[in-house]
Structures are given as C-alpha cells and as structure tokens.
Amino acid sequence: MHSRRTHAVIVGGSIAALGATLALSRAGFRVTCIERDRAAMPADHLAAWDAWRRTGAGQTRHSHILLAPLNNLIKAHAPEFHALLIASGAEELRFSDVARSTFENPELVAEDGDITFLACRRVVFEYLLRRYMLEQGGFEYMHGARVRGLETGDGRAAGVRVRSADGEHTLDADVVVDASGVHTRADHWFEEAGLDAVHTERQPCGIFYTSRFYRLRDGADYPTLDGRQSLAGGVQGIDLGYLKAGLFRSDNRTFSLTLAADPEDAPMAPIGGEAGFDAAANAIEVSADWVSAERSEPISRVFLYGNLQNTRRHYLVDGRPALRNFFAIGDAHVHTNPISGRGCALAWVSAFALADTLAEHRDADDRAGAFEAAIERDVVPWYDVQVQQDRQSLAVNKALQRGEDPFDFHNADGTVDERKRRGVVFRKGLGHAARSDIEVMRALFRQVNLLDSPGSFLERSDLLGKVIAGYEASRDEDLKRRPYRDEMLALFEAAGASA
C-alpha cells in the first residue's frame, strides 16, 4: 500500500481517466484528475443527454457496448456505483437470458454469470460515473484545465504544466497517467520535452460510422430477441458486406442504431444524413421493426464519426521506458475499431492493471516492464485480432463494390482458394452452430465480451467440429444479405439521398 503522498496525475476526465482515478485512489495514491472540458454538469443524468456537451469526447453520442470486464470491475470495486446505474435506468444484459430465448432448457454454468454487460448511453454512464466519483471524494478534480506539457528530469516524468482560468502553473507528480484518448497530445509533449518520438503503429479500420438514438413510445417495448441475430443480449447486428448495422439497447427505454461503411465507398455517404440513414434503417430487416414510427421516435440527429485507425503506441523501447513514470491507458495507448465496442472495457482493464503494477513495484523500470507485460497479455491480442478482422471485412466490402461475390472461393481456373474457403466455412458454420449449440454460443459470447483470449476458440477441437458441422448444414445458404448493394443505392435515390 502506497502513502497518499505518492502523487499520480491523470490527464483526462472521461471514462478511462475516472476508472484510473478509482483504481489508483483505492490503491492508496493521492490522485489529481485533469479534465479540459469546461461544460458544467446538468442537474441529473436524464438532462445530461440534451444538455451536457462533451466537446473533448467526440464519440460521446455514438453507440456503446459496456462489455463484461467493465461491468465486473464495477461490481467488484464500486458496487454502490453499479447500484446507482441500475437505479438510474441502466440494464444488465445477460448471456443466460439470450440462451433461454434461443434454447429450450439450456444447461447453464456458474461462469455464465460473468457474461453480463451494461446497456447504457455513454453520456449517461459518464455523467453518473463522474457524479459518483465526486461524491466519493478522495482525489482532486481540476475542471476546465488543459495540460500544456510535461515536466521531466533524469529521464522521468516529474509533473505537468497546466493552463486553467487561473493561468499556467506546474503540478508536480510522481506518476503521470495519460488517459486523454486517441487524440492524445503525448507526441507533442515528448517532442517539446526533447524526448525521442513515441513509435506508433496505425492500421486503417476501413469504416466510417453514423449513429442515431431513439426512445420507445408509450406502451411500446423492445422487439423480442430470439437469439438468432443477436451478438449479445440486447444487441442485434447484421453485416451486409458493404454496410454494417448494429442496434444497441440502452437505458431508460432508449436504443441506438449504428451504420458503418467504407469511407472510400462514396455511394454509401448518404448514411451520414437523415434521409439516407432512415432509408437504410427501414430497409434492413433487423432494424426496421425497432425504428418503425409505431414503436419508437428519434431523439437525436444522425452523428458521424470517421478517420478511424487502429492505433498502438509503444512506450517501452528495447526493454526500457521511453519516459520513466509516464504511463498511458485506454485509447491513448491502444485504440481499436469502435465497431467492436471494446474501448471502455479495455480502458478499465488497463487502469486496474496499472494500479496493481504501481502497488507491486517501486523501481521505475520494473514498473514499466510489468505494465507493458500486462498490456501485451490483456489488451494487445485484441488490437491484433481487430486489425486482422478489419482487413478481412474491407476485402469483402471492396469485392462487393467491384460487383464480385466475396464468398466465392473458386479461382478463375476452377481451383480452390483454400484461405478464402476456410474463411467462408468458419463464417457460415459459426453462425449456424451458435444458433444450435449452447457450447458454441457460450464460447462466442465469452470472446465478444473479452473474457477469453482471441485465439481460444480455435484451440478447441470440439468447437471447431461443431462449426464444420454447422457449415455442412448451412452450406446452401447465401451469405449475402438483403438489401443488396444495388438495392440500397436505389433506396437512397428514391429518398433523395444519393451521394
């Protein structure tokens, strides 16, 4: 246990930063959290949706999945906050409920209770989290302050320079934690301090996405989930190849719809506007019932988010820290495609890994090595798999744009492309097997919720056998879903929403 005189300065005031504040303050650190946004908090979480402008977090009003690791960490370390979320209209969505809606008398196991995530709008969750943390106290919260640079000495982070309404001053620190998100200014801070540039990997996500939020009308309820098109309880999605669609149940009888397409596919640009978005929403089978005028009404405009890259920054070089006692968590360290919804959960996993590391190690180099090892174990595999998945998805999209069948694994000379064939077998077989076998569904849901490592599914021969059997049972099904791309473009034109 560290004395509270050990000072950790956290750059940022959003979900990742507040998770780090919780983890480090509970571990005995003195914590200062620096939030640059000046917007005052509204009276309550319901008013926050309309009135709280989080200009420093561009994704605040996009769809979010609060996956199992985040839910489980909240339950373990802040049960009062979990109770507050539920009392405020958030919902727990459980694998067990999806299993019961899919199978008759499913055999559930104790570990299934871990496969539970939260349905809650991002802005509502963040509002309640900040309110809870401020009421708990035990840390200093600087509101409307901007970090201008790092104070360094002897190869260590020694503090930050902060500009606020009171002017610019230096804040000393034993540890500096960058939780400022994917648009971190760390590269600038390092350059200004005369440090070597941080090596950064960037791989395109291959999408831009748009989101809109809705509220159920009085007397209406969410459409029944039958498990067949559900990634996890309360979430429904479909991949048309050229367009992805995801529905996300949220708090207080709300939900959101997100559409995602290739940024280079200009004819898909209309989903960024109301007419095109609505045309697509009403044409896609999984979303049409949700957004029908009889069931729900929009409560937001269409929000656009683009220029997306999977990003990883390397703060350990040849086994040595780029700057001792400087750490990055969440998207400031490893950012993955938001379409998979892993960001908030991985940020909290990183925050608590950092708290454990700092509590267990006193030497700065040991701390850096131990934290990097934790990130390599718990976070980087999801970065690697996301890069691979995005490449595969983009290849399917490009083939459809060219008018080709992306799931035809025969070459022009009649031979078989084995790599593509394996992909089609797994994609089609997994979908069928997850609808017919609870073991496959459980393993899939555990991976979606980050509870098992990305490669664990492929290591189980029993599951692979069921996937192959699923392919044989569904091999004549068409992987291409309606509406086809040319049909969607015609709908855009009819709605006056052509690119």
- Banded pLDDT at 193 (limits 50, 70, 90): very high
Specify burial of residue 137 (Cβ count, 10 A radius: 0-12, 13-18, 19+).
exposed
Cα–Cα distance, 64 to 73 (Å, whole number): 17
pLDDT surpassing 80 at residue 476: no
The pLDDT confidence band at residue 234, using thresholds 50, 70 and 90, is low
The confidence score (pLDDT) of residue 225 equals 57
> Mean of the pLDDT values across residues 94-103?
88
Residue 479 lies in a domain: no
pLDDT confidence of residue 227: 41
Among 288, 305, 322, the domain-final residue is 305
Per-residue pLDDT tens digits for 267-292: 999 999 999 999 999 999 889 999 99
Q: Cβ–Cβ contacts within 10 Å for residue 364, how many?
A: 19
Say what the pLDDT of residue 244 is: 93
The answer to whether position 358 is within a domain reads yes
Mean pLDDT lowest among 22-26, 232-236, 353-357, 442-446: 232-236
Residue 128: domain span: 7-202+308-378
User: Can you give the pLDDT at residue 427?
Assistant: 84
Residues 457 and 346 reside in one and the same domain = no
User: What whole-number percentage of the chain has pLDDT above 70?
Assistant: 95
Do 161 and 229 lie in a common domain? no
What rounded mean pLDDT belongs to the chain? Answer: 91
The answer to whether residue 383 is domain-embedded is no
Q: What is the pLDDT of residue 232?
A: 39
Check residue 24 and give its pLDDT: 97
Token representation of residue 300: 């937001």
Q: Using 50, 70 and 90 to split pLDDT, how confident is the model at 428?
A: confident
Domain boundary among 356, 378, 400: 378
pLDDT at residue 432, as a whole number: 87
Ramachandran category for residue 6: left, alpha or beta (phi over 0 → left; psi -120 to 50 → alpha): beta
Average pLDDT over residues 126-153: 95
Q: Does the pLDDT value for residue 5 go beyond 70?
A: no
Q: How far is CA 498 from each of CA 207, 261, 276, 298, 302, rounded to the nearest angstrom? A: 19, 15, 8, 22, 16
Q: Three-state DSSP class for 60? A: coil
Structural domain includes residue 1: no
Same domain, 89 and 153: yes
Instruction: Write down the pLDDT at residue 388.
Output: 94
* CA separation, residue 49 to residues 53, 214, 331, 339, 360 (Å): 9, 12, 23, 22, 40
pLDDT band at 1 (very low <50, low <70, confident <90, very high): very low
Higher-pLDDT residue of 40, 139: 139
| Among 216-225, 240-249, 353-362, the least confident range | 216-225
Least confident of 59-63, 455-459, 483-487: 59-63
Residue 214 has pLDDT above 70, yes or no: yes
Structurally, the chain folds into a number of domains equal to 3
Distance CA 371, CA 316 (A): 10
- Considering the domain architecture, whether residues 22 and 145 belong to the same structural domain is answered as yes
Instruction: Kindly compute the dihedral angle of the four CA atoms of residues 396, 398, 402, 403, in this order, to the nearest 10 degrees.
Output: 30
Closest C-alpha to 102, from 223, 247, 229, 222: 229
Residue 392 lies in a domain: no
Assess whether 17 and 157 both reside in one domain: yes
- pLDDT tens by residue, 67-97: 999 999 999 999 999 999 999 999 999 999 8
Residues 268 and 358 both lie in one domain: no
Q: What confidence score (pLDDT) does residue 370 get? A: 97
Residue 210, pLDDT above cutoff 60: yes
Does pLDDT of 130 surpass 90? yes
278 & 333 share domain? no
Answer yes or no: do 414 and 346 share one domain.
no
Residue 383 has pLDDT above 60, yes or no: yes
Give the pair of three-digit tokens for residue 255: 């939900």
100/352: higher pLDDT: 352
Mapped onto helix, strand or coil, the DSSP state of residue 246 is strand
CB contact at 8 A, 150 and 157:
yes
* Per-residue pLDDT band at 133 (split at 50, 70, 90): very high
Q: Can you say whether residue 44 is alpha, beta or left, with left for phi > 0 and alpha for psi between -120 and 50 degrees?
A: beta
**Does residue 136 share a domain with residue 79?**
yes
Name, in order, each residue with C-beta under 8 angstroms of 269's C-beta and a sequence gap of 6 or more.
276, 499
Predicted pLDDT at 157: 97
Q: What is the CATH number of the domain that holds 237?
A: 3.30.70
Same domain, 358 and 454: no
**Which candidate, 360, 15, 371, 6, places its Cα nearest to that of 179?**
15
End-to-end CA distance of the chain: 59
* Residue 293 within a domain: yes
pTM of structure: 0.94
What average pLDDT does range 162-179 have in this prediction? 94
Alpha-carbon distance of 299 to 49, in angstroms, equals 10
User: Do residue 195 and residue 235 come from a single domain?
Assistant: no
Burial class (CB in 10 A: 0-12, 13-18, 19+), 105: exposed
231 pLDDT higher than 50: no
Asked if residue 303 lies in contact with residue 208, where contact means CB atoms within 8 angstroms, the answer is no
Evaluate whether residue 456 is within a structural domain: yes
Helix, strand, coil percentages (3-state) for the chain, rounded to 5, are 45, 20, 35
* Token duo for residue 461: 């021969």
Plot region of 313 (φ>0 → left; ψ -120 to 50 → alpha; else → beta): beta
Does residue 301 share a domain with residue 235? yes
Segment 387-400 shows an average pLDDT of 90
- Boundary residue ending a domain (378, 399, 423): 378
CATH classification at residue 161? 3.50.50.60
Any domain includes 499:
no
Cβ atoms within 10 Å of 388's Cβ, excluding its own: 12
Joined tokens for residue 46: 């319901």
